[in-house]
Structure 1
Amino acid sequence: MLYLNWTDFSSRKLKMGLLLLALITGLGGCGQHQAVDHTGQEVAAKTDKPVDTSAQKSGDDRGCSYFHFLWGRHAELAAEYEKALAAYEKSLQCKPDAEFVHRKIPLLLLRLNRGEEAILRLRQYLVHHPKDTISRMLLAKVYIRQGEFQKAAAQYRRIHQLDAQDTTALLLLSELYLAENKYDMAKTALRDVLTVDERSYSAHLLLARLLVAEDNFEAGQRHYEQALDITWSEGLQLELADVLTRQKKYGQAVGLYQEILHHDEQNEEAQVALIHIYLLQGKERKAIAELQRLKESIKNPKQAELTIIRLYARWEEYDKAIASLEEFLQKYESSEARYLLAALRFQEGQYEKVLLDLQKVDHEATEYEDSLFLQVRTLKELNRHHEAVQALESALAQEEGRTPDLYILLAGIYQFIGQVEQCRNTFQRALEVYPEDEQVLYEYGLFLDYRGEQDAALEIMERIIAMDSEHAGALNYVGYTWADKKKNLTEALQYISRAAKLKPDNGYIRDSLGWVHYQQGEYEKARKSLEMAVELAPDDPAILDHLAETYLALGLPEKAKQTWRKALDMYQEYKEEQAGKGKEDQESKRIQEKIHRLETGESK
């Protein structure tokens, strides 16, 4: 073994560091190239060959680009995204056509919640590289993240035009259409995939599920069979067997289940389904024999019986499920079975029996919190609100079972029965235990708004946004509040637009979007958003009120009058249901006055 003293080691380490520095600066190409002499002093670099500066003049320096790329990658892995972005930008300055860096930057911008910039960068890049399908894929992904599904779909279609043999874009397009409930367009995209690749497993499977959802069982069955021919799996065969059962093709279904059991005799789902088919066919002896075999073959026969009972419930055979549970509970006491029985009895309106069953659910059981919620719902149905309060207060007194949801539910009951200060106190108690819980804060903000304390509500909602910039509810509240007061309209539109991208199918957010457009004088935009809001939330009179105002602004008084009449009818229904709480009366009077002014020809 050679002995190396510390001085020698330090000297070698220093020289190695200088050598690495020389190599890096030699590769860097980002300034004047210099060398280092034996004393560590910088000297002019010497070479016998003339220096080729053409790459530097053209801005194409691969060494410089790679150097900054590595720094950017290091910063990105350390989650220092701003630093990473700056390094990648410098990498592009050195080598403007570095494709990989061009694709990296939009992803970083997304991480920094700068989606619009990411879109701009990608679109600019595609102007010069229109056939770059990878960048188009990335652009589609960004559009989806921003909630702009139609633009994403356009990119997928363009990718397919550029490369007709690549089915990935078409599959993604079909999934996008499915997310938007555009089932016919999804089917078209999937059939286009199969035109290119008739053995596309994903296309056959998605198409099969779509067709079965539309009750087109025969066509769906064919695609299931083709998918199974490509890649066989127990799960997929179970799906097909279920489709056959729904068509009452019991013989074929039995054959598929038996084939699954041949591969895996412990497959409980196939065994239970087989029992169900025998029962549907009236072959009770076969069903009983199969059930006994199932109980003996699996480790937990109790769970097998519960699985069968759950199947009865799923098939909406509630009487059978309840009778089976009663029989099961005579043999085995189980919190899981008790809760299931209570839930089924609630479905059947047997409220007193529900409460008796829930009393027997163990406080330590995983079903306990769900059983408590069901107990409160049942007491509410029976108009026994004070008992519901007692049950929740008792649960909250025990620290182990305490959750934010219990506080929110208790506050809601206090509000419903008119104990406003108790409701406020419950929220404040919750925030002492869970000061950063967004849901508690949000519900408290809504309560304050209901009480007319809008400034306090707004402060809480802005606090939520500071904690979570993607909280759609808080964004919508702040944006709508500003819009309703005709203040900060530009910012209000930004907030509500973000909320709409996060929850595009929320009618109340669409209503806010329409209302801010109305306040900006963009009446046609307001109309489109508000008509969509009415489709998504047809039973809200406040949305109809906003739509009527917009029709009036567009010079459509008859449509405005009809819409206000619908809103008035809804307020009258609410008044009857809520026994006239006051707010509905005020809104009804306000709308009646508007209708009266229209009918008498008075101006708005």
Structure 2
Amino acid sequence: MKRIRYFAITLLIPLFFASGTNTMATSTIAGEEAGQVNDRSCSYFYFLWGTHSEYSRLFEEALEAYEKALICDPNALFIEKKLPALHFRLGENDQAIQLLKKGIEKDPSDISQYLLLAHLAIQQNKRDEAIEVYTEALKHDPENENVRLRLAILLVQKDRLDEGETIFRDLIAKNGDLYLARIYLARLLQMRGADDDAAKVYEDALTLNWSPELAFEMVDFYSALERYEDVLRLYDSVIANDSSNQRAIIGRIQTLLAIGKDEDALVELQNLRKTNGNIESLDMAIAKTMLRLEKVDEAKTILESISQGEVASEANYLLGLIAFQEKKMESALGYFQKVPNSSPEYADSIYLQVRILRDFDRFDRAFSLLQKATNEPQGCDPLFFALLSSLYQEKDRLDDALATLTEGTTTFPESEQLHFELALLLERAGKQQEALKAMEKVLEISPNNPEALNYIGYTWANLNINLAEAKKYILLAVEQKPDNGFIRDSLGWVEFRLGNYETARAELLQALDLEPEDPNIHEHLGDVYRALKKYAEAIEAYQKGHDLFSQESDRARMKKKIDELQKKKK
């Protein structure tokens, strides 16, 4: 126990002498058990000391003083009730809970004890226990608004929505000024998708007690519903109460842009600039809005003025985009080169530089740019490896392309894009087993990737292996992309391999409805008709495939199939 502080004693002792009270006097409380004597003056002394310490937030001293007060007067229930709160403030929750339970046994009508006990249960994530505590409290004070409101909130958190809603509505019916009950009811209705009812309750709450916090909550609600006129009304109400509220001002401008009122947004942005002075982020917003309004020259002027400051990266990127669209490619390159690798626009600026250099047959510069970008840790992006590999493939440098994608998958092992492109390139290089492994890696990263599922399923079907598993993969892909003709073709092909010819025919006809110009689907349909011994239909399908194929080897294969069937017909 801590020693009583000297200055506290000197402040408090005169109170007793001034009143003529003997601090050592004792008295007997009426109704006490025979022989039990309580020193009320002693108890009062320590009570005052505890009160002073508690007010000074010296909770440990306050607890010590109140405990001494109870030694002097064990029947001082009002002092005893102070102990749980102090234990709670000191983080001694178990002691607080024990004392609260004892206190409730002694005085079950004291609702404050139930409230603190429930609060402690909630802190320990024991919401069911807290509900029981609130329910017990209501047995002693059935109409206590505070307890009923807290109970309803807990019931909603436990997904007991009907019970919670009933309490909220009853509270509002009995006390129309109960603001919090309206807010929680509105949130509950929002959870249930009853948006019109939620809006009405929100509006009633706002009328009852307007606050910027509630207005912003309603802004989020109405924004999700795309009720932008209501959003603007609420922003206006905030600005009317606080003309300098930046959140409301910016939010209003963003809403105007969202609903296509770009001219109005620009006017407000320019007015805001007059009020706030030369703020580069604000100038950037003005420039972007001008670009939306096709006021390109004015936007360029602003962007040039801020292309050296805190928003230089974005300003130079936008200037590069403008030059790119104006087909001023050298200027565009100059701007894009000013975008540092630490900026969010860096990856896009590299992509556009590569595109320009490739279009002007400056492959050496493009290779150099991408090689440098892939070797820099900061700003490095999977896109750079994909672009570099693509350039190598364009120059028929297949080994370099493969090495680049392999390095990319090592640098970015969780990149779906790089593993997928590596698989396709391995397939092109005739390394089918390695391609399958690379595509399986895609599925490890993203188990529902429809293209990867289709690739593996179709490859297995083509190899006539793992057919049951192949069908499962392709069906998963179809679930995600039911209108993809190529995936439908895969499903038809695996059904063919399984010997389900009629099912295969139906799927392939559906695939042709989606992709009528794909020669491979026509060839697959021809194979199905041949298996069904419908030779005329098979020849027709092969002929369409023949006419659509561009490679001579494919056309020759179709011609051979047609000739074989024509002999059978004879």
TM-score normalised by structure 2 residue count = 0.52
Query: Which residue does 1:159 correspond to in 2?
Result: 205
Q: Cα offset for 1:158?
A: 1.8
Whether the 8 Å contact between 1:342 and 1:354 is mirrored in structure 2 is no
- Distance in 2 between the 1:76 and 1:285 partners? 65
Query: Which residue does 2:23 correspond to in 1?
Result: none
Whether the 8 Å contact between 2:183 and 2:201 is mirrored in structure 1 is yes
- Distance in 1 between the 2:2 and 2:180 partners? 55
Whether the 8 Å contact between 1:204 and 1:224 is mirrored in structure 2 is no
Whether the 8 Å contact between 1:160 and 1:167 is mirrored in structure 2 is no
Residues 1:89 and 2:124 aligned together: no
Q: 2:131 is aligned with what amino acid?
A: L
Q: Structure 2 vs 1, CA of residues 122 and 21 (structure 1 numbering), >3 Å: closer, same or farther?
A: farther
Query: Which residue does 1:64 correspond to in 2?
Result: 110
1:131 pairs, out of 132, 152, 177, with 177
Q: Cα offset for 1:362?
A: 3.0
Q: Cα offset for 1:76?
A: 0.5
Residues 1:339 and 2:380 aligned together: no
1:121-148 CA-partner distances (Å, limit 9, x unpaired): 2112111122222221222222223333
Residues 1:308 and 2:355 aligned together: no
Q: 2:180 is aligned with what amino acid?
A: I
TM-score normalised by structure 1 residue count = 0.50
Q: 1:329 is aligned with what amino acid?
A: L
Query: Which residue does 1:599 correspond to in 2?
Result: none
Residues 1:246 and 2:330 aligned together: no
Q: Structure 2 vs 1, CA of residues 274 and 415 (structure 1 numbering), >3 Å: closer, same or farther?
A: closer
Q: 1:84 is aligned with what amino acid?
A: A
1:405 pairs, out of 420, 431, 447, with 447
Any idea what SS the aligned residue of 1:364 has? helix
Any idea what SS the aligned residue of 1:362 has? helix
Q: Structure 2 vs 1, CA of residues 180 and 26 (structure 1 numbering), >3 Å: closer, same or farther?
A: same
- Distance in 2 between the 1:219 and 1:422 partners? 62
Query: Which residue does 1:273 correspond to in 2?
Result: 318
Query: Which residue does 2:165 correspond to in 1?
Result: 119
Q: Cα offset for 1:219?
A: 0.8
Q: Structure 2 vs 1, CA of residues 192 and 448 (structure 1 numbering), >3 Å: closer, same or farther?
A: closer
Whether the 8 Å contact between 2:238 and 2:245 is mirrored in structure 1 is yes
2:252 pairs, out of 189, 199, 207, with 207
Whether the 8 Å contact between 1:343 and 1:354 is mirrored in structure 2 is no
Q: Structure 2 vs 1, CA of residues 145 and 376 (structure 1 numbering), >3 Å: closer, same or farther?
A: farther
Q: Structure 2 vs 1, CA of residues 307 and 172 (structure 1 numbering), >3 Å: closer, same or farther?
A: same
Q: Cα offset for 1:74?
A: 0.8
1:497-543 CA-partner distances (Å, limit 9, x unpaired): xxxxxxxxxxx9xxxxxxxxxxxxxxxxxxxxxxxxxxxx9989xxx
Query: Which residue does 1:390 correspond to in 2?
Result: 437
- Distance in 2 between the 1:234 and 1:149 partners? 39
- Distance in 1 between the 2:261 and 2:238 partners? 20
- Distance in 2 between the 1:166 and 1:271 partners? 41
Q: Which moved more, 1:138-147 or 1:365-374?
A: 365-374
Query: Which residue does 1:466 correspond to in 2?
Result: none
Any idea what SS the aligned residue of 1:131 has? coil
Q: Cα offset for 1:276?
A: 4.7
Whether the 8 Å contact between 1:322 and 1:341 is mirrored in structure 2 is no
Q: 2:412 is aligned with what amino acid?
A: T
Q: How does 1:578-597 map to 2 (within 5 A)?
A: none
Q: Structure 2 vs 1, CA of residues 141 and 403 (structure 1 numbering), >3 Å: closer, same or farther?
A: same
Q: Structure 2 vs 1, CA of residues 411 and 301 (structure 1 numbering), >3 Å: closer, same or farther?
A: closer
- Distance in 2 between the 1:182 and 1:570 partners? 44
Please tell me the root mean square deviation across aligned C-alpha atoms, in Å.
5.9
1:257-293 CA-partner distances (Å, limit 9, x unpaired): 466567x45753334435555666788888777677x
Residues 1:218 and 2:263 aligned together: yes
1:227-260 CA-partner distances (Å, limit 9, x unpaired): 5567786545433322223334345435644665
Residues 1:101 and 2:142 aligned together: no
Larger radius of gyration: 2
Q: Structure 2 vs 1, CA of residues 390 and 207 (structure 1 numbering), >3 Å: closer, same or farther?
A: same
Q: Structure 2 vs 1, CA of residues 111 and 305 (structure 1 numbering), >3 Å: closer, same or farther?
A: closer
Any idea what SS the aligned residue of 2:125 has? coil
Q: Cα offset for 1:72?
A: 0.7
1:173 pairs, out of 200, 210, 218, with 218
Structure 1 segments unaligned to the other structure (5+ residues): 4-11, 29-55, 428-442, 451-507, 509-536, 541-568, 583-604
Whether the 8 Å contact between 2:273 and 2:282 is mirrored in structure 1 is yes
Query: Which residue does 2:35 correspond to in 1?
Result: none
- Number of aligned residue pairs: give it: 401
Q: Structure 2 vs 1, CA of residues 422 and 316 (structure 1 numbering), >3 Å: closer, same or farther?
A: farther
- Distance in 2 between the 1:138 and 1:322 partners? 63
Any idea what SS the aligned residue of 2:410 has? coil
Q: Cα offset for 1:160?
A: 3.2
- Distance in 2 between the 1:252 and 1:214 partners? 23
Q: Structure 2 vs 1, CA of residues 354 and 130 (structure 1 numbering), >3 Å: closer, same or farther?
A: farther
Query: Which residue does 1:559 correspond to in 2?
Result: none
Q: Cα offset for 1:414?
A: 4.2
- Distance in 2 between the 1:208 and 1:87 partners? 48
- Distance in 2 between the 1:391 and 1:277 partners? 39
Structure 2 segments unaligned to the other structure (5+ residues): 4-63, 82-103, 485-505, 516-520, 526-570
- Distance in 2 between the 1:143 and 1:302 partners? 42
- Distance in 1 between the 2:418 and 2:198 partners? 44
Q: Cα offset for 1:75?
A: 0.8
Q: 1:390 is aligned with what amino acid?
A: K
1:196-215 CA-partner distances (Å, limit 9, x unpaired): 66555334323322332344
